[in-house]
C-alpha cells in the first residue's frame, strides 16, 4: 500500500467542463495504519440479478446429485473455473408466474408476489436492496437490457396486467416499473457522462470523449498518487474509454457486442461504486433474436417452442450455453478487479437464472437458479443445494438479501425462517 500524507475521500471525482466521473478504490483513499473495516476498503456487497428468458433445458443444467459440485452440465460448464464460487439451487418454483404466458414472466421473477394481487406490494428484491445499499452511491441501482422489449399480449387476461410485466424484472412499488435500458450510449452517459449535455456532449456528439473533458483534473490527480494508484487509475480510464468507444453506435450496436458491453459497464459501475445493485435481461422476453454467431439461425422464441424435438432442444442448449459464456466473462472480470483486500467477485452476490423452466410447457418448476460470488464471505460455493420440490423462489431471494446485509423480514411469500442456502 502507498503511504503518504495524501488522503482522498472515497467519493473523489474527476471533474471538468461539466463532467463528473467517479473513481475506483485507490490506496490513497485508505488511511494509513487504520483497520480496514474502518476505511473505504471495508467489504461492501454488490448484488446483481442476471435474467435470461425462455427457461433452460433442465437436464443440461441440473447436477445429478446434491452436494459438492462435480462436472457441470453443458449449460453451466463455462462457469467451471468458478465452481468454488458457484452454488446451484434446485427444487424452486414461482407459483406467481402462472397466468398469461410470457406477459408476466420477467416481472414476477424478483417479487414473490402475483401482479394481480389487489393492494399487494410489488417491490422487487433488487429495489428492496437498492433502498439500503444505494444510500451511499451515485445511483441506487441500474437496470439493463440488450434489445427493445416486445409487446406481449395477455390474451384472456388483457387489461388485468400492465404490459410492463413482460418487459422488465424491476419494480419499485406496484405502480412504478423500471425499464431496462438497452441503448449502450444512454447507459454510458448515465454512468460516466452525467452533467455533460450542457457542455455540448451528447449521444449525437461522439467526437469528444468524456475523458477529454476531465483531462486537466486527471493530470493534477496523477501528481498526487503513488505508482500503484497511477496504474489502477490508468487501467480504469482505459476501460472507460474502451466502453465509450464501443457504445458509440447506440442501439445499432450488434447484439453480441451489446451483450458483452452491458456487462462490461456493469462491472465498471461496481468497480467505481457508482451503484451496488444491478439487474440485466440478457434477451427480451419472446425475443426473435437469432444467434448466427454460434450457428443457430432460428429465432430464439420460436425455437423455445421445441415440442421436445431433439434437434431444436440441442440448438436451445447452444443458445443457453452461449449466454452462460458471456456471463462467465463478466464473472472473470469481477475476479480480476481488486476491491480492498479482495476482488469484486469476493464482494458480489449474483443470481443467474430464469423465471421459466421447460420453455415448451411454459412451466415455472423446477426453475434454473445459480448463485455466483463470495458475498463478502457470507456465501459458500462449490455445492448443489437441492430443496424439497416447489420451495418458493422468494425464499432464495430472501436469502440473497440476508447475505447482503439487507434487513427485511420477508419478500412475497417467503418467511424469515426460509433462508435456504447455508452460510459459509
Q: What are phi and psi of 45, to 5 degrees?
A: -75, 150
pLDDT of residue 115: 86
Cell numbers representing residue 385 in the block: 443445494
Per residue of the chain (424 residues), give pLDDT as tens. 344 446 788 889 999 877 889 999 999 998 765 655 556 668 899 999 999 999 999 999 999 999 999 999 999 999 999 999 999 999 999 999 999 999 999 999 999 999 875 445 689 999 999 999 999 999 999 999 999 998 898 887 888 888 899 999 999 987 689 999 999 999 999 999 865 544 445 544 556 899 999 999 999 999 999 999 999 999 999 999 999 999 988 778 899 999 999 999 999 999 999 999 999 999 999 999 999 999 999 999 999 999 999 999 999 999 999 999 999 999 999 999 999 889 999 999 999 999 999 999 999 999 999 999 999 998 889 999 998 899 999 999 999 999 999 999 889 888 666 666 764 4
The domains of the chain, with CATH numbers, are 47-184+254-403 (3.40.720)
As a residue count, the chain comes to 424
pLDDT of residue 30: 87
Which H or E run contains 317?
helix 310-336
pLDDT of residue 416: 61
pLDDT of residue 125: 97
Q: Across-strand partners of 15?
A: 20
What is the dihedral sign for C-alpha 354, 359, 364, 370?
negative
Query: Angle formed by the axes of helices 227-246 and 184-192, to 10°?
Result: 150
Distance of alpha carbon 124 from alpha carbon 122, whole angstroms: 6
pLDDT of residue 424: 46
pLDDT of residue 203: 47
pLDDT of residue 199: 45
What is the dihedral sign for C-alpha 228, 230, 231, 232?
positive
Distance of alpha carbon 375 from alpha carbon 388, whole angstroms: 25
Distance of alpha carbon 413 from alpha carbon 116, whole angstroms: 14
Amino acid at each position: 500500500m502507498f503511504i503518504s500524507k495524501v488522503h482522498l475521500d472515497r467519493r473523489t471525482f474527476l471533474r471538468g467542463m461539466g463532467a463528473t466521473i467517479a473513481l475506483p478504490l485507490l490506496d490513497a483513499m485508505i488511511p494509513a495504519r487504520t483497520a480496514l473495516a474502518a476505511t473505504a476498503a471495508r467489504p461492501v456487497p454488490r448484488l446483481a440479478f442476471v435474467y435470461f428468458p425462455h427457461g433452460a433445458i433442465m437436464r443440461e443444467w441440473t447436477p445429478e446429485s446434491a452436494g459438492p459440485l462435480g462436472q457441470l452440465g453443458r449449460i453451466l460448464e463455462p462457469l467451471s473455473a468458478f465452481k468454488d464460487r458457484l452454488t446451484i439451487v434446485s427444487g424452486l418454483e414461482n407459483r406467481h408466474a402462472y397466468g398469461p404466458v410470457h406477459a408476466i414472466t420477467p416481472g414476477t421473477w424478483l417479487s414473490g408476489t402475483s401482479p394481480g394481487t389487489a393492494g399487494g406490494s410489488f417491490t422487487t428484491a433488487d429495489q428492496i436492496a437498492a433502498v439500503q445499499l444505494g444510500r451511499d452511491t451515485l445511483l441506487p441501482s441500474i437496470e439493463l437490457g440488450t434489445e427493445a422489449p416486445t409487446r406481449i399480449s395477455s390474451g384472456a387476461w388483457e387489461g388485468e396486467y400492465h404490459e410492463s410485466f413482460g418487459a422488465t424484472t424491476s419494480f419499485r412499488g406496484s405502480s412504478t416499473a423500471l425499464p431496462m435500458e438497452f441503448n449502450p450510449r444512454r447507459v454510458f452517459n448515465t454512468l460516466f457522462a452525467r452533467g455533460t449535455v450542457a457542455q455540448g456532449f451528447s449521444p449525437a456528439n461522439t467526437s469528444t470523449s468524456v475523458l477529454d473533458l476531465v483531462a486537466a483534473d486527471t493530470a493534477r490527480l496523477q501528481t498526487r498518487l503513488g505508482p500503484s494508484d497511477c496504474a489502477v487509475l490508468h487501467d480504469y480510464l482505459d476501460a472507460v474509454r474502451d466502453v465509450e468507444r464501443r457504445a458509440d453506435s447506440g442501439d445499432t450496436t450488434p447484439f453480441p457486442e451489446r451483450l458483452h458491453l452491458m456487462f462490461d459497464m456493469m462491472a465498471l459501475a461496481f468497480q467505481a461504486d457508482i451503484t451496488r445493485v444491478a439487474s440485466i435481461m440478457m434477451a427480451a422476453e419472446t425475443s426473435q433474436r437469432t444467434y448466427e454467431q454460434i450457428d443457430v439461425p432460428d429465432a430464439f422464441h420460436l425455437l423455445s417452442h421445441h415440442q421436445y424435438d431433439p434437434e431444436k432442444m440441442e440448438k436451445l442448449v447452444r443458445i443457453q450455453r452461449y449466454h452462460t459464456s458471456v456471463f462467465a466473462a463478466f464473472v472473470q472480470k469481477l475476479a480480476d478487479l481488486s476491491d480492498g483486500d479482495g476482488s469484486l467477485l469476493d464482494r458480489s452476490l449474483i443470481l443467474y437464472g430464469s423465471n421459466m423452466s421447460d420453455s415448451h410447457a411454459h412451466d415455472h418448476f423446477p426453475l434454473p437458479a445459480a448463485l455466483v460470488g463470495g458475498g463478502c464471505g457470507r456465501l459458500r460455493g462449490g455445492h448443489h443445494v437441492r430443496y424439497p420440490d416447489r420451495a418458493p423462489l422468494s425464499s432464495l431471494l430472501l436469502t440473497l438479501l440476508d447475505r447482503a446485509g439487507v434487513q427485511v423480514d420477508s419478500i412475497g411469500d417467503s418467511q424469515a425462517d426460509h433462508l435456504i442456502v447455508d452460510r459459509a
